[in-house]
Structure 1
Amino acid sequence: MTLMLGTTVHAGGLDRSGQSLEPLFTKGNLLSVDVYHSSPSVKGTDVLGQSTGQVADTYTQWGFAYKQDLSSQTSMLIMLSRPFGLDIHYDPQQSSLLGGTEARVSTHELMGALRYRWDEQWGVHGGLRMQRSEGNVGFGGLAFGAAHGYWVDFRPSTEPGYLLGLSYERPDISLRIAATYYSAIHHKMSTRENVLPVTTTTSSTSPQSVNLDVQSAIAPSTLAFGQIRWTQWSQFKLSPQVFAAATNGGSLADLEDTTTYTLGLGQKLSSQWSGFVSISYDRIQHTNPSSALRPNNGRVGYALGVSYQEPGFKVTPWLSYQRLGAADITLASYPIARFGQSSAMLFGVKLDYIF
């Protein structure tokens, strides 16, 4: 039974892909391309009663995977993805307190992995990752006082990391349990702050994470699947020289560790058609107040999709609605703005060539 499994999107922290290794477990050789588009609706009201306008920009994600069996026990995977990202912008024509504030973060990752099965049940997998990260942050609006107009540019940094995992399978009941650890990746980014005439260096860490994926047949044509993903976003700090000096070592990023839960069902509808539904959840964070760069707190996501398969080819369109939790924006412990419950609509398609 071949069914499309749900993908975690728009998850906790800056997560946009969930770092799935699903292609590595596909039977046969595989060439896969996937793309999705996100249209968020994130609007708030500042303490002066002014609308912030739409602050979360639309974005398009894409990914590529090539998997090949090297022997009856060994397979390899090459994957190109964009695991993390952020696109926030406050229109200067809207809130006078926050207008002009923005943040852009972009991460690309090339990963190569091998999987070895020493019997029908047990297998190990591991690989290397090469990650490229860059971004910029700017402060605008009266709420930032003397910091109004400050901006910082983090130029591209490319650094290596790794992944390690263990899997257990029971093909007779389509059972698979796979655990994967992704290492932290430490970047040293060439940094330009507009209040300094020289370029400096800023250290940053892409977080370590653990994925636990489970699937099992619960009826002849029905598959249950789920994932628990933990990501140590508290590792992610950005402290450029002038900003850190002005804030006693403060960071532009102040995120908590996240745990994302996903649960779904896949159903085989015919010899060519199958479908899936899933729900995912990120709990509300209570420890840290939200900043203008994080205008939501918690998430519940719903996804559904169908797959059409011919010999050697499969296409999977899908749709997702993400309900984003309300957030109170503060600056130096003073309330600045309130964002009610927000949302995002996502639609995508995945194309698989199996040979």
Structure 2
Amino acid sequence: MKKMTTGIAALLMGTAPALAGGIERAPQSLAALFEPGNYAELSFGGADPTVSGTDAAGFDTGDVAQGYGFVGLAYKQEVSPNVSFGVIVEQPFGADVRYPDGPPAGSGSPVLGGTAARVDSTTVTALARYRMDNNISFHGGIRASRADAEVTLSGAGYGDISGYNVRMDPSWGTGYVIGAAYEIPDIAARISLTYNSKITHDFDTRENILPGAVTTTEVNTPRSITLEGQTGVAADTLVFGSIRWVKWSEFQVRPAEFSSLPGLSAGLVSLEDTTTYTLGVGRRFTDNWSGLAAFVYEPTGDDLVSPLAPTNGRKGVTLAAIYTMDNIKITTGINYSKLGDARPQTGGAPRAQMEDSDLWGIGVRVGYSF
């Protein structure tokens, strides 16, 4: 049981990425920190979302969400029975949205034609964990994130600002993570609570409104709280679940020249806070093979959304198989998510209706204990 269940909820979700609220692509898992002994892992995979609909002028938007890949690394060193350290490298945030180009903005052109957004990020987290003799443990550390972005607003839906482009050069920011856990090893039970602080980036910013000028844009990637639990319920069987809250409302992007224009002080994007629920079951079939299944639910919010994040809630199913051989554990996961219908808006007016969107994701995680 212990071979299968270490950090099971985070393990499952980490191997099969999915679009969560805002621009989150991965749940910032700390699963490696709970592995027994010394441990190293490599994870990789990709996702293919399909987000399409019809704009207010009757044009087919095509698939505006591009596929993406990911890679992650983790290392955990146990320096004593009670103290361990770890390093995790991941890509938790990202976006690649492109509305197909159309003729110049006007009544006969796509309402959002040419609008695009690209966000890339990499986060490195250094962690420590102290385990007390009463099965309570505390974990925490420093998180450093590198990010960059480019956004283009185009089409009739943007009126006079159609054609606006902004580039934000790579920037590093730092934050922290802190949490606690309680375990009952005999029944593979654990409950943990983890808080991730916001991370502030100060981007050197270039807007085509003032060619050649460089300003600074402050952007906060959002804080989050994750509650995870798991417990054995029968021989070789356990249940697990998680609740994750992310404060996306503090993710504001306000380039200086853009935000100084009349009616645009709110900036480029406005997102709602999200809460994501996971519930699943795991089963060991043989000494080498185990299987997991989980249902993921993120409630819908206001269906008027940013064109740069054109979905609203999700329902997903993740399946994973784990093969264990000696000190090696290979986990392969696949996720299918139904993404909620949404209406991208500008100026408070809906500009398109996105319907029947979904996502397929697959990932592989190879772990080695030593």
The alignment's TM-score, normalised by the length of structure 2, stands at: 0.93
- Residues 7-62 of structure 1: CA deviation (Å, up to 9, x unaligned): 16321111111111111001121110111211111111012211001100000011
The match for 1:274 among 290, 309, 320 is: 290
Structure 1, gaps ≥5 residues long? none
The match for 1:28 among 37, 40, 44 is: 37
- The aligned runs of 1:3-42 (5 Å cut-off) are 3=4, 4-5=8-9, 6-7=12-13, 9-42=18-51
The match for 2:119 among 89, 98, 105 is: 105
Judge which range, 300-309 or 334-343, deviates more: 334-343
Task: Provide the residue aligned with 2:192 in structure 1.
Answer: 178
Q: Match of 2:177, SS?
A: strand
Task: Provide the residue aligned with 1:251 in structure 2.
Answer: 267
Task: Provide the residue aligned with 2:235 in structure 1.
Answer: 220
> In structure 2, what is the Cα distance between the partners aligned to 1:143 and 1:209?
33
The alignment's TM-score, normalised by the length of structure 1, stands at: 0.97
Task: Provide the residue aligned with 2:345 in structure 1.
Answer: 330
Identity of aligned residues (%): 39
Judge which range, 324-333 or 93-102, deviates more: 93-102
> In structure 2, what is the Cα distance between the partners aligned to 1:69 and 1:120?
18
Judge which range, 180-189 or 89-98, deviates more: 89-98
Distance apart, 1:291 and its partner CA: 2.1
- The aligned runs of 1:142-153 (5 Å cut-off) are 142-153=156-167
1:300 matched to 2:315: yes
**Amino acid corresponding to residue 29 of structure 1 in structure 2:** N
**Amino acid corresponding to residue 69 of structure 1 in structure 2:** E
Task: Provide the residue aligned with 2:94 in structure 1.
Answer: 85
Q: Match of 2:283, SS?
A: strand
> In structure 2, what is the Cα distance between the partners aligned to 1:201 and 1:32?
37
C-alpha change, 1:295 and 1:248, in structure 2 (3 Å) is closer
> In structure 2, what is the Cα distance between the partners aligned to 1:330 and 1:181?
32
- The aligned runs of 1:104-183 (5 Å cut-off) are 104-183=118-197
Aligned-residue RMSD, C-alpha = 1.3
> In structure 2, what is the Cα distance between the partners aligned to 1:248 and 1:328?
20
**Amino acid corresponding to residue 244 of structure 1 in structure 2:** S
Given that 1:243 and 1:250 are in contact with CA atoms closer than 8 Å, whether structure 2 keeps it comes out as no
**Amino acid corresponding to residue 264 of structure 1 in structure 2:** G
Distance apart, 1:162 and its partner CA: 0.7
Q: Match of 2:351, SS?
A: strand
Task: Provide the residue aligned with 1:56 in structure 2.
Answer: 65
Task: Provide the residue aligned with 1:193 in structure 2.
Answer: 207
The match for 1:96 among 83, 103, 110 is: 110
Task: Provide the residue aligned with 2:106 in structure 1.
Answer: none
Distance apart, 1:96 and its partner CA: 2.0
Given that 2:305 and 2:342 are in contact with CA atoms closer than 8 Å, whether structure 1 keeps it comes out as yes
**Amino acid corresponding to residue 364 of structure 2 in structure 1:** V
> In structure 1, what is the Cα distance between the partners aligned to 2:134 and 2:367?
25
Structure 2, gaps ≥5 residues long? 104-108
- Segments of 4+ in structure 1 off by > 3 A? none
Q: Match of 1:256, SS?
A: coil
- Residues 67-114 of structure 1: CA deviation (Å, up to 9, x unaligned): 111101011110000111111001115962211100111111110100
Given that 2:54 and 2:352 are in contact with CA atoms closer than 8 Å, whether structure 1 keeps it comes out as yes
- Residues 209-255 of structure 1: CA deviation (Å, up to 9, x unaligned): 11111010011101111111111110100000111011341221200
The match for 1:65 among 65, 74, 94 is: 74
- Residues 281-324 of structure 1: CA deviation (Å, up to 9, x unaligned): 111012x7212112111101110010111011111111110100
**Amino acid corresponding to residue 66 of structure 1 in structure 2:** Y
> In structure 2, what is the Cα distance between the partners aligned to 1:59 and 1:13?
16
Judge which range, 92-101 or 139-148, deviates more: 92-101
Given that 1:120 and 1:170 are in contact with CA atoms closer than 8 Å, whether structure 2 keeps it comes out as no
